[in-house]
Chain A
Amino acid sequence: MTAPAGTTGWETVVGLEVHCELLTATKLFCGCKNAFGDEPNVNVCPVCVGLPGSLPVLNEHAVELAMRIGEALHCEIRPSTFARKNYFYPDQAKDYQISQYDLPLNAAGWLELPDGSRVGITRAHMEEDTGKLTHVGESGRIHSAVHALVDYNRSGVPLVEIVSEPDIRSAAQARAYATELRGILVATGASDGRMEEGSMRVDANVSVRPAGSTEFGTRCEVKNLNSLRSLVRAIEYEAARQVAVLEGGGTVEQETRHWDESAGRTESLRSKEEANDYRYFPEPDLVPLAPDAAWRQRVRAALGPMPADRRAALADALGGAPTDAEADQIRAVVDLGLDDLVTAALEAGAPVGLALARGANEVAAQADAAARLPAGSFAALLAMESGGQLSATQSKAVLGALLERGGGDPAALAEEMGFEALASDTLGAVLDEVIAANAGEWSRFCEGEDKLQGFFTGAVMKATKGKANGKEVAAELRRRRG
């Protein structure tokens, strides 16, 4: 099945539910370690495997991190309670999940996206994670599984579920929201925001309506979105599917749908009728949670700059309003948390355009390695490039080596790699040779065929094995053309 045709004449409406695991040392209701990737069932105790007689005790640090998220999303932090969400599933140690229901800790906030649009935050509440179920069988699929294994290391890991208003109008905006939210979660220190490790999980509520309509259509909840790419593809697919249903005279059924990444489509998981009745009721084993004004004030005061603040700081460094390209670079640098690196280079005197470009491109391409790159090495490299001691090509090569080695002296590396600046008289001589060898092209260039500038630059680079400075070559070519 191919993706249905487009959605012209229709508006897509999306609300996102984002679960994020909190970066606490211990679990939400017991003292077990909160860690990813350990041997199965080593971080467990009577509480998080739900042994009879065990009782939950709320982790204060988890509350603090949840409050940071609430503050960063401009939520009201309110007196709240915990509730039990009852359903049977083997990964659910007590066969109920302790969550917040009618009285969440954080409510009524908003998130502003880089394009200036605002998405309302309905609530950001606390809850515990479930264990992890692995079906074991020939195909690895549930239907043919021989048996299942449960790992309760994740059982009781603290989560905050952030529910947006249905304010999102496209897959691209959903992506921007998820990206911005991720940046905020990381900036608050509440979460590492890793979608691929499941520490940030996104479900999308998608509906469509005729353009101009103010009533919402019937929504479907799409699950299993394990990357931003999945999020975008799934929303686009699902909106198009619903439009096709409606244009074909059908009605959209409210249901939960599963995104199949390899097939590129959503499939019905369960209908509204099959949905669980969770029988929520107040959790009698916990007391109400009502952070006082002083605690809220401490959390607010301790909050560092959010991604929007950090983008504004880089834009300030540029001096004027950023161009679209520069805004993209700033966004990339901030999203990947590279702004400290870039700022350090700027403070060392690197040109802001160059620092942003290298940060948003070459460094961003190896964001994990960038975490180990000392700001001093990066700043020194940019100084060499802007001072003409290294060409752009050479500079990028040295940067790659710096990232690979986790730092070092760029001057020594450049020497080791055989890079040295080309003296300008050498450039003149090389250019003489190149022009002589390509007389036809040269006369066409002189007659105004500008695109041949690239041809001559490439030829000079080839002759100098990349040592020439691209800018100097361009300047010399223009000077000689007159």
Chain B
Amino acid sequence: MSSALSLAGEVRAGARSARQVADEALAAVAADDDELRAFLTVLADEAHRQADEVDAAVAAGRDPGPLAGVPVALKDNLCTRGVPTSCGSRILEGWRPPYDATVVTALRAAGAVTVGKTNMDEFAMGSSTENSAFGPTRNPHHRGKVPGGSSGGSAAAVAAGFVPLALGSDTGGSIRQPAALCGVVGMKPTYGRVSRYGLVAFASSLDQIGPFATSVEDAALLFDVLAGHDPLDSTSLPSVPEPSLPGVHGGAEGVRVGVCRDLVDGCAPDVVARVHEAADALARAGAKVDEISVPEFRYGLSAYYLIAPAEASSNLARYDGVRYGLRVEAEDAAAMNTATRTAGFGAEVKRRIMLGTYALSAGYYDAYYAQAQRVRTLVMRAFDRAYETVDVLLGATAPTTAFDLGAKVDDPMAMYMNDVCTIPSNLAGHPAISVPFGTGGDGLPVGVQVLAPALGEATMFRVARVVEQHAPATAGVGS
């Protein structure tokens, strides 16, 4: 499949029609998604209409934008006007938002064609997409394996070649971990660089929307379209005037890279080996590579699993059966709330709501939520200290390659451990990217993670591009 950059170039030049590109994407989905189940909703009519607008613009001599005619898949927690947005949950099944998320508006303005909404762990809680109320997504590289999560549908849609680009959301690794498991590029921006308006909240202080792509270059292209200040999101940062794409090929010469032991140790040996190969490749490319330790990262997971559920317990309170979504009738309002939430939420969501409610309760707040916030501050300071001596950190994205469907569904702690390398960046609000780098002993993709300080996307992309250039050749998507 062509890259998004070349596709957009061809469409803008009139060499290919957006309609034809959209049809190819829709045909690929129709041919294979019954088994993969990357999509919850396919938007053929919408895609045709948008593609025709792009073609009309090209015919009229107007520039349809940097993503002209590029098919894009949207995680199903991004609000799309008039289009079902379920978050992978029964409680929002069939809900059609009356408005578009800011990123969706930005995509359309850039000429992208949105072809569908992708599967996800319910309310983005999970690391395998098995927590979707509508069934799991399969990993395109091995259909008996999970695609990772929670943005597993978006990762799989890109890995399967359905679309060159997709959007996910990353609260504790939900873009990067499935990107690693599916062998694609996945990136979480600096907190506040991409508007959260219209992203159905899981944990507001950690959530960020970011791109999936088949290359670092395409990820930067999409990131540039998404990033920018949004007055509708109070936590949105001022726009950074310099785009990331032009500098992507700048190389790693002189960049100080810290191979972070705490993001490597404890991972599977084949994953550890790949990270060190990537470090060696960077050194050969002129980067100054050192080992570094940030021991505070080991507390990140515990802090995250208090802060994220605490915020989620509040964010998910609104699904009460009163205004929208599922309602299970009962004798009075309180009983209706309980019946609706009991029927509408899955086990993992209930587990986290209970965890979070407990962590915020009078008498426990200081020991749990407040303590977790102190740890969060500690992790931020540890990052600051590390970035006094290095420009970026290098580590694994996920501890293992893709695991079997069903292997961890009954063991929440084992599932939570998937996020151990990705969580620190969410706690600090920093950008990070996962780049495919060869395979593990099982032949499945391995992801290497490049972490950068706040607003460090440009350097992060440059280093990621060098890693990508030196990645071992892989067989591609098989079955």
Q: Interface on A for B, CB 8 Å cutoff?
A: 46, 49-58, 84, 86, 88, 90, 93-96, 148, 150, 277, 279-281, 284-287
A290 to B: closest C-beta gap in Å: 14
Besides A46-B99, A55-B233, 14 more A-B contacts (Cβ < 8 Å) are A51-B99, A52-B201, A53-B79, A53-B197, A53-B200, A55-B234, A57-B231, A57-B232, A88-B317, A88-B320, A96-B317, A284-B235, A284-B311, A285-B201
Segment with Cβ contacts to A, from B255-263, B293-301, B355-363, B441-449: B355-363
Interface contact A277-B317, CB-CB below 8 Å = no
Closest-by-CB residue of A relative to B95 is A52
Is the C-beta of B322 less than 8 angstroms from some C-beta in chain A?
yes
- A143 and B98 CA atoms in complex are apart in Å by 35
Interface contact A56-B317, CB-CB below 8 Å = no
Q: A88-B320, A277-B361 are contacts. A52–B314 as well, Cβ < 8 Å?
A: no
Is the C-beta of B144 less than 8 angstroms from some C-beta in chain A?
no
Contact with A along B318-336 (1 / 0, CB 8 A): 1010111000000001100
Q: Which residues of B contact A277 (CB under 8 A)?
A: 361-362
Within 8 A of A (CB), among B20-77: 77
- B234 is contacted by which of A52, A86, A286 (Cβ under 8 Å)? A286
Q: Which residues of A contact B99 (CB under 8 A)?
A: 46, 51, 53
- A53 and B81 CA atoms in complex are apart in Å by 12
Q: Interface on B for A, CB 8 Å cutoff?
A: 77-79, 85, 87, 92, 95, 97-99, 101, 196-201, 203-205, 231-235, 310-311, 313-314, 317-318, 320, 322-324, 333-334, 337, 357, 360-362, 365, 369
Interface contact A95-B318, CB-CB below 8 Å = yes
Interface contact B317-A49, CB-CB below 8 Å = no
B361 to A: closest C-beta gap in Å: 6
A308 to B: closest C-beta gap in Å: 38
Residue pairs across A and B with Cβ atoms less than 8 A apart, 23 shown, are A46-B98, A53-B78, A53-B79, A54-B197, A55-B234, A57-B231, A57-B232, A84-B314, A86-B313, A88-B320, A88-B334, A93-B323, A94-B317, A277-B361, A279-B313, A279-B360, A279-B361, A281-B360, A284-B204, A285-B204, A285-B235, A286-B235, A287-B234
Interface contact A285-B234, CB-CB below 8 Å = yes
- A150 and B322 CA atoms in complex are apart in Å by 9
Q: Which residues of B contact A53 (CB under 8 A)?
A: 77-79, 85, 97, 99, 101, 197-201
- A281 and B356 CA atoms in complex are apart in Å by 11
Q: A88-B337, A279-B360, A284-B204 are contacts. A55–B196 as well, Cβ < 8 Å?
A: yes
- A95 is contacted by which of B231, B311, B320, B365 (Cβ under 8 Å)? B320
- A281 and B79 CA atoms in complex are apart in Å by 26
- A46 and B99 CA atoms in complex are apart in Å by 8
- A148 and B337 CA atoms in complex are apart in Å by 14
Closest-by-CB residue of A relative to B231 is A57
Interface contact B314-A86, CB-CB below 8 Å = yes
B151 to A: closest C-beta gap in Å: 16
B142 to A: closest C-beta gap in Å: 34
Closest-by-CB residue of A relative to B310 is A281
In the A-B complex, the 9 residue pairs with the closest CB atoms? A95-B317, A279-B360, A284-B205, A284-B204, A52-B200, A53-B79, A53-B198, A53-B200, A94-B318
Interface contact A52-B320, CB-CB below 8 Å = no
Q: Which residues of B contact A50 (CB under 8 A)?
A: 318, 323
Interface contact B320-A51, CB-CB below 8 Å = no
A283 to B: closest C-beta gap in Å: 8
B41 to A: closest C-beta gap in Å: 16
B365 to A: closest C-beta gap in Å: 8
Interface contact A90-B233, CB-CB below 8 Å = no
Q: Which residues of B contact A88 (CB under 8 A)?
A: 317, 320, 334, 337
- A96 and B310 CA atoms in complex are apart in Å by 13
- A286 and B232 CA atoms in complex are apart in Å by 11
A118 to B: closest C-beta gap in Å: 33
- A56 and B196 CA atoms in complex are apart in Å by 11
Interface contact B362-A90, CB-CB below 8 Å = no
Q: Which residues of B contact A279 (CB under 8 A)?
A: 313-314, 357, 360-362, 365
Interface contact A93-B198, CB-CB below 8 Å = no
- A46 and B102 CA atoms in complex are apart in Å by 13
Closest-by-CB residue of B relative to A95 is B317
Interface contact A51-B196, CB-CB below 8 Å = no
- A261 and B360 CA atoms in complex are apart in Å by 38
Closest-by-CB residue of B relative to A275 is B362
A60 to B: closest C-beta gap in Å: 12
Most chain B CB within 10 A, of A51, A53, A90, A96, is at A53
Closest-by-CB residue of A relative to B370 is A281
Q: Which residues of B contact A286 (CB under 8 A)?
A: 234-235
- A145 and B199 CA atoms in complex are apart in Å by 37
A457 to B: closest C-beta gap in Å: 66
Q: A52-B79, A56-B234, A285-B235 are contacts. A86–B317 as well, Cβ < 8 Å?
A: yes
